[in-house]
A and B are shown apart, each in its own frame.
Chain A
Amino acid sequence: MRTSPSLLSLTIDSAVLNLSNIADLSPLPDHIVIDLFLRTLRAGKLTEKVLKLFIDTGKDEVFSLIQALNIQVTLTPVLPTTIKDDEVDIVIGALRSDLTTFMNEWRPMFSRFHLIIVKDPDLKEELKIPEGFNLDVYGKPDMDQVVGSSTSILFSGYSCRYFGYLVSRKKYIISVDDDCLPAQDPKGFLVDAVAQHISNLTNPATPFFFNTLYDPYAEGADFVRGYPFSLRGGVKCALSCGLWLNLADHDAPTQALKARQRNSRYVDAVMTVPARSLVPISGINIAFEREAVGPALVPALKLAGEGKCRWETMEDIWSGLCVKVVCDHLGLGVKTGLPYIWRTDRGDPIASLKKEWEGVKLMEEVIPFFQSVRLPREATTVEECIVEVANSVKERLGSMDPVFARAAKAMLDWVKLWQSVGSSSSRSSAV
């Protein structure tokens, strides 16, 4: 039986989590400073600022540790952001119980931020999460409490993460699948997917005219000749869709056909998806401004045979189409491209195909529908837009397949939920 931790130990753990609030460590006794330093290292929370905090104590043992461990201040700056750490929530939908490797591999990128981990209500085992993170974990009991047990059905499988979006109170959300790890860029450096998403969201998008040098706000790039100056201010970027190395996000038939194909092409670009152009937004690696488009990410399309592999679902594709239509209507931008994450091999596409192939067929109806949706001028908030889309779905797709009728209802329920449980309604920006 493990001995329970001492009060001192708990205090030091708490201090590690609150380092950003501590201004001066020198009053602390030496041995506690050392202990704190070591635990900070283990937690992956040693930043330049924190290192300075320890150095400023003037304690010899701290210096010897720094020398012995060869800790050096890195000169390559982190991507400059104007976002404060406390404006971001990282939401992870846990479809597997053991998150140890996942969390440890992402630690350098995640540890600065608050995390929301939402457990798939169908998952029976206890979650295994390593220490050293500032996080909240939610499961079925929380869902039942917040939304009622009949509505919590919205959040099964991959859709569990939407519960995290609902209860978050932060401005930005970043979400990756729990079978993905940080990727390496062509130079061998680990990609900080979080920082890249934040950069995408805080720089404008340019949906009204295509820039052939892709992201004009990237270092070393700009708008090309022929780009109207009146459009160079851009619009707010509401959603950033990242990509995947190794196992790309193909559907089951494609992956079954090309069983050994893995994505090794690193395309060094971020670009805005043009207005009125629809795009399949994969939920594997996304980030969005919750305050701008939160209600538009809807856990609505649940396939009859929906499963626990991405190619057994279409919920994110549906959600992404809703977001794009709303963004186009409200004059917001959607970006795609960097960052890449590494998606681990998992699942058997042929088995999935045997189980569920209706989803692939449904797209034939879904795409033309979304291409023809027209939102009225009076819809000026995200919620109003989603209600319009939901009604349209019910009217035009409801009779085609019960999955659409259910999706329409789920969208309306979601908007109501968002209005009662989510923070105050999103800022609108009518065109």
Chain B
Amino acid sequence: MAEPATATQAAAPAVPQLKDELDIVIPTIRNLDFLEMWRPFFQPYHLIIVQDGDPSKTIKVPDGFDYELYNRNDINRILGPKASCISFKDSACRCFGYMVSKKKYIFTIDDDCFHDAALWNVYCDFIYFHLTKVAKDPSGKAINALEQHIKNLLSPSTPFFFNTLYDPFRDGADFVRGYPFSLREGVPTAVSHGLWLNIPDYDAPTQLVKPLERNTRFVDAVLTIPKGTLFPMCGMNLAFDRELIGPAMYFGLMGDGQPIGRYDDMWAGWCTKVICDHLGLGVKTGLPYIYHSKASNPFVNLRKEYKGIFWQEEIIPFFQQTVLPKDCTTVQKCYIELAKQVKEKLSKVDPYFDKLAEAMVTWIEAWDELNPTGSSVINGKAK
């Protein structure tokens, strides 16, 4: 029986999976020191760094990484007038990285998210428990976040019927009694949504009321979010199949000059889920966990998101009731249709949504320009 892995022993996989098919997109405004912690896991992959804020500042990338870096000047140069759809002074600018990538998969992470000794201990406790009960996975190696995301994306989702043992494709699990065999093949997974230990992703009011709460509960599960169910997608630890769903991952108009912030990933998540439901694609949530180290200032957060707190009361019912017509068989078509409906139904909430709807269209135009051969066109089965 293997020893539980320690922080120093936890090694990257011998052959990194999808090395040439996956890009890691990181938005940053300060520095990239956190990459040192991730080096064993990220070094084999290509990085796309989107530098937000002042383009004259130089962001130092630690040696040994294969990367391309884009600052605001680059974004303006590449997109021209269409650059207006990319946010400034907000991590929402990361979606520019999705657009310029040429790979099939994207993994995105915030620059204050780590692996950490404490996290390894949590992983190790649970792996040790499993090893003492059932002898399997003799390496005892803690799975790194990227590897788990890849596992999630490469195995099917099951959105049409809930499996009470969660992901049936994981080792040691399966479909439960009563699960129809015709649904056991599953559908392709478009999104893998990971979670966070330590600082939880709370909104500002909750942060203010519970400043000391830390997420210490490690839930050893991956599950498919059922069709027809919306969820709050956090962009801190996210991976997706760019070919299946890329154009839907627009992170909206946030930050400088905008009335709202901290809703970029939420917006992308709601659009993405509606489109995935329509096209018969799956969205998973759960493992992997990353260690979120930095608590943002709740007062700053409140100022950024307070409008969102009111608006989401209208936005959620909008997305819950949205119906996409059958002839929307590609992600782009679905997205343009969504933009139309946003303009129709949400402008009355605030003129911001007018601007957003236009930006959504600009985004798709820019996406198609940079990805001309229809690499994101799929033979979608519109439901």
Shortest beta-carbon distance, A225 to chain B, in Å?
A: 4
B161 touches A213 (CB 8 A): no
Docked complex Cα distance between A211 and B225 (Å)? 10
Which residues from chain B contact A276 at a C-beta distance below 8 Å?
Answer: 226, 228-229
Question: Beyond A218-B217, A264-B134, is A229–B313 a contact (Cβ under 8 Å)?
Answer: yes
| Neighbour of A212 across the interface among B133, B161, B232, CB < 8 A | B232
Contact (A251, B177) CB under 8 Å given A277-B162, A364-B182: yes
Return chain B residues, CB-CB under 8 Å to A241: 164
Once the chains are docked, how many angstroms separate the CA of A254 from the CA of B133?
21
Q: In whole angstroms, what is the CA distance A159 to B153 when docked?
A: 41
* Given known A224-B200, A266-B129, contact A274–B228 (CB-CB < 8 A): yes
Known: A251-B178, A262-B134. A226 touches B165 (CB 8 A): no
The answer, yes or no, to whether A250 is at the interface (CB within 8 Å) is: yes
Please name all residues of chain A whose beta carbon is closer than 8 Å to the beta carbon of B217 when the two chains form the complex.
Answer: 218, 220-221, 268-269
Say yes or no: is A63 at the interface (Cβ < 8 Å to chain B): no
Q: Mark A240-282, 1 if CB is under 8 A from B, else 0.
A: 0101000011110010001001111111110001111111111
Contact call A261/B230, Cβ cutoff below 8 A = no
Distance (whole angstroms) from the CB of B309 to the closest CB of chain A: 7
In contact, B176 and A280 (Cβ under 8 angstroms): yes
Does A186 make an interface contact (CB < 8 A)? yes
Across-interface contacts of B202 in A (CB, < 8 A): 222-225
Q: In the bound complex, what is the Cα–Cα distance between A263 and B167 (angstroms)?
A: 13
Q: Does A363 contact B (CB under 8 A)?
A: yes
Q: Does any Cβ of A come within 8 Å of B316's Cβ? A: yes
Contact of A226 among B200, B214, B218, B263 (CB under 8 A): B263
Contact B174 A258 (CB under 8 A): yes
Shortest beta-carbon distance from A268 to chain B in Å = 5
Could you tell me which residues of chain B, from 158 to 194, have a CB within 8 Å of some CB in chain A? Answer: 161-166, 170, 172-183, 193
B165, B193, B215, B225: most-surrounded residue (chain A CB, <10 A): B165
Q: A250-B177, A276-B228 are in contact. Are A212 and B285 (CB under 8 A)?
A: yes
* Neighbouring A residues of B68 by C-beta, 8 Å: none
Binds B, one of A42-50, A105-113, A310-318, A402-410: A310-318
Q: How far is the CA of A310 from the CA of B193 in the complex (A)?
A: 35
Assembly CA distance A336 to B219 (angstroms): 14
Contact of B164 among A214, A225, A280, A366 (CB under 8 A): A280
* Nearest CB of chain B from residue A49's CB, rounded to whole Å: 31
A323 CB to closest chain B CB, in angstroms?
A: 13
Asked if B221 is an interface residue, CB under 8 A from chain A, the answer is yes
Residue of A209, A263, A310, A314 near B165 (CB, 8 A) is A263
**Neighbour of A209 across the interface among B166, B174, B231, B305, CB < 8 A:** B231
Q: Would B164 and A279 count as touching, CB distance under 8 A?
A: yes
Chain A residues, Cβ within 8 Å of B214? 220
Nearest residue, chain A, Cβ from B204: A225
Task: Please give the distance in Å from A372's CB to the nearest CB on chain B.
Answer: 13
User: Interface residues of B: mostly helix, strand, loop or mixed?
Assistant: loop
Which residue of chain A lies nearest to B219 when distances are taken between CB atoms in the complex?
Answer: A269
- Taking CB atoms, residues of chain B closer than 8 Å to A310 are 177
Q: A121 CA to B215 CA in the complex, in Å?
A: 49
The reply to whether B215 and A269 form a contact with Cβ atoms under 8 Å apart is: no
A227 to B308, CA, bound (A): 11
Given contacts A186-B125, A212-B193, A263-B173, contact A220 B213 (CB under 8 A): yes
- Is the C-beta of A230 less than 8 angstroms from some C-beta in chain B? yes
Give min CB distance, B170 to chain A, whole Å: 8
Q: Taking the complex as formed, is B206 at the interface, i.e. its CB lies under 8 A from any CB of chain A?
A: yes
Contact-residue size bin, chain B (C-beta under 8 Å from the other chain): 35 or more
Chain B residues whose CB sits within 8 angstroms of the CB of A264 once the complex forms: 130, 133-134, 172
> Does A367 count as interface, using CB distance less than 8 angstroms?
yes
Closest CB-CB distance, B210 to chain A, in whole Å?
7
Question: Any chain B CB within 8 A of the CB of A102?
Answer: no
| Chain B, residue nearest A210 (CB) | B231
Which of B174, B215, B269 contacts A261 (CB under 8 A)? B174
Interface flags for B309-324 (1: CB within 8 Å of A; 0: not) read 1001100100000000
Q: Does B46 contact A (CB under 8 A)?
A: no
Knowing A212-B231, A248-B176, say if A277 contacts B226 (CB, 8 Å).
yes
B99 part of interface (Cβ distance < 8 Å): no
Inter-chain contact A280/B161, CB cutoff 8 Å:
yes
Q: Does A360 contact B (CB under 8 A)?
A: yes
Question: How would residues 99 to 133 of chain B score, 1 for a CB under 8 Å from any chain A CB and 0 otherwise?
Answer: 00000000000000000000000000110011001
Kindly state the separation between the CA atoms of A328 and B214 in the bound complex, as whole angstroms.
Answer: 33
CB distance from A231 to the nearest CB of B (A): 8
Chain B: CB-nearest residue to A219: B217
- Which residue of A225, A254, A278, A280 is within 8 Å of B232 (Cβ)? A225
Kindly state the separation between the CA atoms of A281 and B134 in the bound complex, as whole angstroms. 26
Complex Cα gap A336–B65 (Å): 44
Q: Does B292 sit within 8 A of A, measured CB to CB?
A: no
Please name all residues of chain B whose beta carbon is closer than 8 Å to the beta carbon of A231 when the two chains form the complex: 316
The answer to whether the Cβ of A228 comes within 8 Å of any Cβ in the partner chain is yes
Cα of A269 to Cα of B233 in the assembled complex, Å: 19
- Given A212-B232, A367-B180, 6 other A-B contacts at CB below 8 A? A209-B232, A223-B202, A226-B269, A258-B174, A280-B178, A364-B182
Question: What is A's interface to B at a CB cutoff of 8 Å?
Answer: 186, 209-214, 218, 220-231, 241, 243, 248-251, 254, 258, 261-269, 273-282, 310-311, 314, 317, 320, 336, 360, 363-364, 366-367
Q: Which residues of B contact A (CB under 8 A)?
A: 125-126, 129-130, 133-134, 161-166, 170, 172-183, 193, 195, 200-203, 206, 210, 213-221, 225-234, 262-263, 266, 269, 285, 305, 309, 312-313, 316
**Can you spell out 30 A-B residue pairs with CB atoms less than 8 angstroms apart?**
A209-B231, A209-B316, A210-B230, A213-B215, A214-B219, A220-B215, A224-B234, A225-B305, A226-B233, A229-B309, A241-B164, A249-B164, A249-B177, A250-B174, A251-B179, A254-B175, A264-B133, A265-B130, A265-B172, A265-B173, A265-B221, A267-B219, A267-B221, A277-B162, A277-B227, A280-B163, A280-B164, A281-B164, A367-B161, A367-B180
